[in-house]
A and B are shown apart, each in its own frame.
Chain A
Amino acid sequence: MNKIRPWKMILAVTMILSLLSACGSQGNGNANAPTTPKEDATNSATDNATPPDPLGKYAETVTVTEVLGYNPPEDPRTPSGITPEQNAYLKDLKEMMNIEVKYKWTVPSAQFEQKFSLAMASGDLPDVIEVDQKTYEKLKKQDMLADLTEAYDQYASPALKAYMDSDGGFAMKTFSADGKQLGIPAFEDPFLSTQLLWIRQDWLNNLGLQAPKTIDELEKVAQAFTNNDPDQNGKNDTYGIAMQKSLFFWGFDVRGFFNGFGAFPSVGDNQSAWIKGSDDKLLPGLIQPEVKTALGKLQQWYKDGIIDKEFALKDENKAVEDLTAGKVGISYGEWWYPNWPLNSSVDKDPKADWIAIQLPGIDGPAKSLVPKIRSNKIFVVNKKMKNPEAAIKMLNFYIEVGNKKYKDKNQAADGYVYNWFNPRIANPADIDTIYTEVNKALDANQTEITIDDANYKTVADTFKATKDFLAGDTTNASKGVNWGQYYSRAAKDGGWGLTRQIKENQQFVYNEFYGLPTATVVEKGGQLDKLMQESFTKIIMGGSIDDFDKFVDSWKALGGNQIIDEVNEWYSTEATK
């Protein structure tokens, strides 16, 4: 299963350490240097006449240390108590390439950002790191990044190259400077960010309602969900629409709601999204008048009890609790909801029947905001590293083991935890490959999928779950889990199925800015976040709607105007239009 998780959840960093340790500028005497071989024999690939083998084995062990922020293994069949050190992928990596991974530290991913900040502050930088755009920019500025051009050209496997070329080299170009490739982006289909509306069909049926197409219809449905006992348990214990304190986040937020009003405040990172204005300038979506209209509606819904009175206290986990407990029947979000957390809702209440619909708008279905590029994970290599190509080889390794011949081996039950392995790049067209291949096999009534390349594992997993779900077979996984895989990836009216239709029918608006955070965003972003969160939350909770105008003024004065200039400067010089 290769679930593409929301970017905030993926915070893992890889570190490959060969000949250096304790390299921090402060020279801490901590010389726990792993034994490292002389690499002369294997590292002279550049002078070698024979072309280097992307999957070749080092003659002597290259020791690699990593740091990792990890989530629990996704597959319930994973042996309990397994640690990242015991991940079976690492054993195979050693066998296949003679690269040995050692973890310097591992923390639950929630603590990763902080731990990594500290590691950075103490100059204790690993060799190969998974970074976000912001960190990438920092490291680039300090000239800490190795040039990967050569290593990539020589060592990248055809599969890796095909992935990177799949967007015409757009993402790779974004992470290069002066002809040097400074990072390998793990980018994904930007349409994965398409906002949908998830709603409980069984509740609609109970109340004799239709799936809403407009905001007004949605309001009626949500009101009925709040007041008319949609779960028919005789108690007034439900409300309309899930929401949490971060208004623009990676899930259970209200990005889609704003899109319904033609407002495009953010792609989910609290920073503004940028839409094209009439004079070929980019406008910050966050401060457009449509946002005010949407906030006004949200304020009314808050008053009516359609959204949780205490949403401002609740994080995404609390919102998820309400969804799975059957307390709320509507949530804005992306294609993957059935995979998590709606699968738990189905397992808890077998009657729960979630469907995806296009965002309700003012007069009919509305367009979703979509980023131009979706890449918040970039693999970079420390300049001091002796074997930058080892990072590329590890990427090759992960793609390689997705092939059919490894199928019986890489089972979660045997300790293969894919989301702990780094560096790891999935097919950017992963989801669409799954969708097309599974549907092809279904339509032809096949019992096996025919594809036989690096995508085998992910396609086969979904196909199996789909078959099981359609046959009502719960021997391998629960109904919810099977349904989740099927309805998120393969169903024609499901998460990705609907997203494809939205893409085909041009029902989207691009966030035109895809550059790295500008100088002012890096410096003032935190304050602008605070200002936005505070102002918007207060308005929703009953403040004066005209405070929005004050917010716009403050936003501009606090650095917004500079950001507008910087973004437009970028747009006129660097953007590919």
Chain B
Amino acid sequence: MKSLKKEYPLHIMLIPGVIVTLIYAYGPMAGLVMAFQQFEPLSGFFKSDFVGLDNFRYVFNLPDFKQVLWNTLVIAIIKMVLSLLVPLILALLLNEITKKWFAGFIQSAIFLPFFLSWTVLGGVIIELFSLNGPINGLISSIGLEPIMFMLDNGWFRGIIIGSDVWKGMGYNMIIMLAAITGINATLYEAAEVDGAGKWKQMLNITLPGIAPIIILLSVLGLGGILNAGFEQILIMYNPTVYAGADIIDTFVYRLGMFSQQFGPAAAVGLFKSVISLFMVSTTYYAAYKFNNYRIF
């Protein structure tokens, strides 16, 4: 109680945030009731008929659902792993650059695509990889056959993942760089005295030093295990690559928005949230159990 008294201005400062969260995160949860209804928009939540788990049964029995779920998992997991690994490597490399202005320049250049919207970037990427685009220009100039990247399942998935990692890597990199700067400099001095080279320093000081951040990012990342990048895929895909790139979100989008089947769409949303909650809890627990590390 004592501490509460002392910290009450801080708690007051929390209130606006809590209110916003209540209104925009908890409030809409009431809408989840749609997942169990034969939802008719004009009748609303109160007059629509309840149908139990019919919506879930309907969605899971759709012939494409398995494939769509599989695509989602594959794309999301590879994206997740790479968007930890790539920024980590970049952060470690950048940390070794001693010229301040150069490091700053590279950092900004890497961060920049993060601010572009997929609507713009998607179009750019389609053009880049098109049959008459610069990449195929390069390929033909060394005498190889041009490749229809955007119409080939294998290539397309690669482009989706690659461009997403490229676009987002700046963000995690900045977080990791910040964590690296937070490491006590005396540790490095001591290590140098003990004769550890750059490599040893990185393995034994830098990495353990930013491990909490890496774990934090993975836990948060796992929450998005079923988010394979709706916006990006919606803008870039086409019927020929449905087999490899149609994900739950795009699938539900076609289902919900264009067939106006709100009930099944809500059911999938709820399904995704439950999986996310499960993944976040498990990793959180695992991090605590095996590493004795707690985020909160």
Give the B-binding residues of A (Cβ under 8 A): 24-26, 113-114, 117, 120-123, 125, 134, 138-139, 142, 144, 245, 309-310, 312-313, 522-523, 525-527, 530, 533-534, 537-538, 541, 558
- Is B257 interfacial (CB 8 A cutoff)? yes
Contact A537 B239 (CB under 8 A): yes
Main secondary structure of the interface of B (DSSP, over half): helix
With A534-B239, A537-B239 known as contacts, the answer to whether A523 contacts B259 (CB < 8 A) is yes
Q: Digitize B32-53: 1 where CB-to-A-CB distance is under 8 Å, 0 elsewhere.
A: 0000000011111111000000
A25 CB contacts on chain B under 8 angstroms = 42-47
Main secondary structure of the interface of A (DSSP, over half): helix
- Is B242 interfacial (CB 8 A cutoff)? yes
Contact A525 B150 (CB under 8 A): no
A142 CB contacts on chain B under 8 angstroms = 40, 42-43
Q: Digitize B227-239: 1 where CB-to-A-CB distance is under 8 Å, 0 elsewhere.
A: 0000000000011
Contact A522 B259 (CB under 8 A): yes
Q: Which of B41, B62, B131, B255 is in CB contact (< 8 Å) with A310?
A: B131
B130 CB contacts on chain A under 8 angstroms = 310, 313
Q: Which of A122, A125, A245, A558 is in CB contact (< 8 Å) with B63?
A: A558
For the complex formed, measure the closest distance between the CB of B166 and the CB atoms of chain A, giving whole angstroms. Answer: 21
- Inter-chain CA distance A211–B240, complex, in Å, is 34
Contact B148 A310 (CB under 8 A): yes
Q: Which of B41, B62, B257 is in CB contact (< 8 Å) with A527?
A: B62
Tell me the B235-290 residues at the A interface (CB within 8 Å).
Answer: 238-240, 242-243, 254-255, 257-262
For the complex formed, measure the closest distance between the CB of B280 and the CB atoms of chain A, giving whole angstroms. Answer: 28
Q: A25-B45, A523-B259, A526-B258 are in contact. List 8 more A-B contacts (CB 8 A).
A: A24-B44, A25-B42, A26-B44, A117-B257, A142-B43, A309-B148, A310-B151, A530-B254
With A313-B130, A527-B62 known as contacts, the answer to whether A538 contacts B240 (CB < 8 A) is yes
For the complex formed, measure the closest distance between the CB of B69 and the CB atoms of chain A, giving whole angstroms. Answer: 16
Residue among B42, B126, B130 with the highest chain A CB neighbour number at 10 A: B42
- Is B189 interfacial (CB 8 A cutoff)? no
For the complex formed, measure the closest distance between the CB of B147 and the CB atoms of chain A, giving whole angstroms. Answer: 11
Size bracket, chain B contacts: 20 to 34
Contact B240 A530 (CB under 8 A): no
With A313-B126, A530-B239, A541-B151 known as contacts, the answer to whether A120 contacts B41 (CB < 8 A) is yes
Contact B254 A526 (CB under 8 A): yes
- Inter-chain CA distance A24–B151, complex, in Å, is 44
Contact A313 B151 (CB under 8 A): yes
Contact B238 A312 (CB under 8 A): yes
With A120-B41, A120-B42 known as contacts, the answer to whether A113 contacts B258 (CB < 8 A) is yes
CB pairs A–B below 8 angstroms (17 shown):
A25-B43, A26-B45, A120-B260, A121-B260, A138-B260, A139-B42, A142-B43, A310-B150, A313-B126, A313-B238, A523-B259, A523-B261, A526-B254, A526-B255, A533-B239, A534-B239, A541-B240
Contacts across chains A and B counted by CB atoms under 8 Å? 77
- Inter-chain CA distance A525–B148, complex, in Å, is 30
- Inter-chain CA distance A527–B260, complex, in Å, is 13
- Inter-chain CA distance A310–B148, complex, in Å, is 8
- Is B64 interfacial (CB 8 A cutoff)? yes
For the complex formed, measure the closest distance between the CB of B268 and the CB atoms of chain A, giving whole angstroms. Answer: 14
Q: Which of A117, A312, A534 is in CB contact (< 8 Å) with B243?
A: A534
B240 CB contacts on chain A under 8 angstroms = 312, 534, 537-538, 541
Which 6 A/B pairs are nearest by Cβ-Cβ distance? A25-B44, A533-B239, A120-B41, A526-B259, A121-B41, A534-B239
Minimal Cβ-Cβ distance residue in B for A543: B240
B238 CB contacts on chain A under 8 angstroms = 245, 312-313, 537
For the complex formed, measure the closest distance between the CB of B96 and the CB atoms of chain A, giving whole angstroms. Answer: 42
B150 CB contacts on chain A under 8 angstroms = 310, 313
A123 CB contacts on chain B under 8 angstroms = 41-42, 44
- Inter-chain CA distance A26–B260, complex, in Å, is 19
- Inter-chain CA distance A123–B44, complex, in Å, is 7
With A310-B148, A525-B259 known as contacts, the answer to whether A530 contacts B64 (CB < 8 A) is yes
A26 CB contacts on chain B under 8 angstroms = 44-45
